[in-house]
A = this chain, B = another copy of it.
Amino acid sequence: MAIEPLKSANSLNEECGIFGVWGMPNAAELTFYGLHALQHRGQEGTGIVANNHGHLWQERGLGLLSTVFEDPQKLKNLKGNAALGHVRYATAGSGGVENIQPFMVNFNDMQVALAHNGNITNAKTLRKELEDKGAIFQSSSDTEILLHLIRRSKKATFVEQLKEALNQIHGGFAVLLMTPDGIYAALDPHGYRPFVIGQLPNGAYVATSETAALNAVGARFVRDVQPGELITINDQGMKIDHYTTDTTLNIDSMEYIYFARPDSDIYGVNVHQARKRMGEQLAKEAPANADIVVAVPNSSLSATMGYAEASGLPNEMGLIKNQYIARTFIEPTQERRERAVRMKLSAIPSVLKGKRVVLVDDSIVRGTTSKYIIRMLREAGAKEVHVRIASPAFKYPSFYGIDMQTSKELMAANNSTEEMRKKIGADSLQFLSTEGLVDSIGLQHAGKGNGLTTAYFDGHYPSPIYDYEPELAAKEKTGEITFDPEVGQ
């Protein structure tokens, strides 16, 4: 894959995976399997909270699920019929175990656990306001803000307190909370993040980030959580409610392009097939005079299938991926990054030798990975390398839950396509159009617009980005970018 997400020390947002289940024996073990299917959404840390007859117990730690739960006793300790879990994405400078979710707080009158996927765009402002009122934050995560807002609400019931709190936060978020009495699932008013409900054979409900996790635990898909909804799952079953009706649908298109698993369906659209259509569309928009099509495993496998079929060129395995991950030991950054690429991918000379190659990738962020891959292809004998990217050029930062909040390192933000081509060393370089992307996904929904967020590519943000707006103020003045809920419609 070509994305190495931009990291900055003050970056609080994250891509993550969440999973919750109510009403199933050994709920923590089921949650473990569900989180395993979401491990691609976060590898920095993971945690599970189980509800044992009204008492919440937690295990969490840094690293992969297989590391944190290496000792089987840990999972055995988490008894009970309901559980909440989280996998956390690696962002620099946020490494402490106190940032690993689910967060859990013990009040004198109740316990609450919280797991969150997304980014709160007015977090900085809210945090300052709360601190000015005496709030103390233990973590550097946005997620803690929601707990403070709930706790400070004067409303009578937990659900009302939660609704009031949800109306105060902005951005992209899929949130799961668990109290001794139930699980609560809420999605932001724009539906930026994927979030689905499933049901197990015994009738128990599951709420999780992707349908792949439903399949992993044998749950059937029930429905997508809708923007602005607040769903309660408890011993009485599932109750669908909403905390706001001022909603639009603006699913983050990067979920289809890169983040979600190919076997997941988001809003009725299978991710693999969407990607394959992107590849087909790309073949139409950007044909190449070449002999073979080569994928960058695993991220562009689907798009490459589509490109090959539509172009009629053979899809050949010119690159293979080492399934094992190991660190590099070289100190200088540049060399280490190249070494890392070479440890992950290998070219097959007998496939590539003398060939004009179409290299299909899902996206270009910094461009360095592309440069190293193209160099490997040429070393293996490729005569020409035509790079085709199955998404539009990535020009604008994201603020709704993906860790790219600055345009400084975005190659496409600072270079023309021709400049990019030269820097990565390709014989030609072309991107999918934004229209082509939207058409390929082909989302069907009742509301206005295409249902997607494509701000990365066209600068049209469906909602204000609050604390981040100063960064983009100059571009807003020129009209290059907009913050407008109607734009995506």
Residues of A whose CB lies within 8 Å of any CB of B are: 1-6, 29, 32-33, 36-37, 39-40, 43, 55-59, 64-66, 69-70, 72, 75, 77-78, 97-98, 104-109, 111, 124, 127-128, 131, 133-138, 140, 144, 147-148, 151-152, 212, 215-216, 261-263, 265, 270, 272-273, 276, 298, 301-302, 305, 309, 314-317, 320-327, 329, 339, 342-343, 346-351
Contacts and interface: CB of A to CB of B under 8 A. Distances in A.
Contact of A137 (B33, B105, B124): B105
Contacts of A140: 106
Mostly helix, strand, loop or mixed at chain A's interface? mixed
Given A5-B111, A136-B105, A65 B317 contact: no
16 contacts: A3-B56, A6-B107, A33-B343, A39-B322, A65-B324, A105-B138, A134-B134, A134-B148, A136-B148, A261-B346, A263-B320, A265-B350, A270-B351, A302-B317, A309-B314, A323-B323
A278 to B, nearest CB: 14
Contacts of A66: 324-327
B350 A57 contact: no
Contact of A351 (B105, B272, B326): B272
Contacts of A108: 6, 124, 127-128, 131
B64 A346 contact: no
Given A135-B135, A216-B343, 20 more contacts: A2-B57, A3-B56, A6-B111, A32-B329, A33-B343, A36-B324, A66-B327, A69-B327, A72-B329, A75-B329, A97-B97, A106-B140, A134-B148, A136-B144, A136-B147, A215-B347, A261-B320, A265-B350, A272-B351, A302-B317
Given A1-B59, A347-B263, A298 B273 contact: no
B151 A134 contact: yes
Contacts of A104: 3
Nearest to A180: B5
Nearest to A1: B59
A482 to B, nearest CB: 30
Contact of A343 (B36, B72, B111, B262): B36
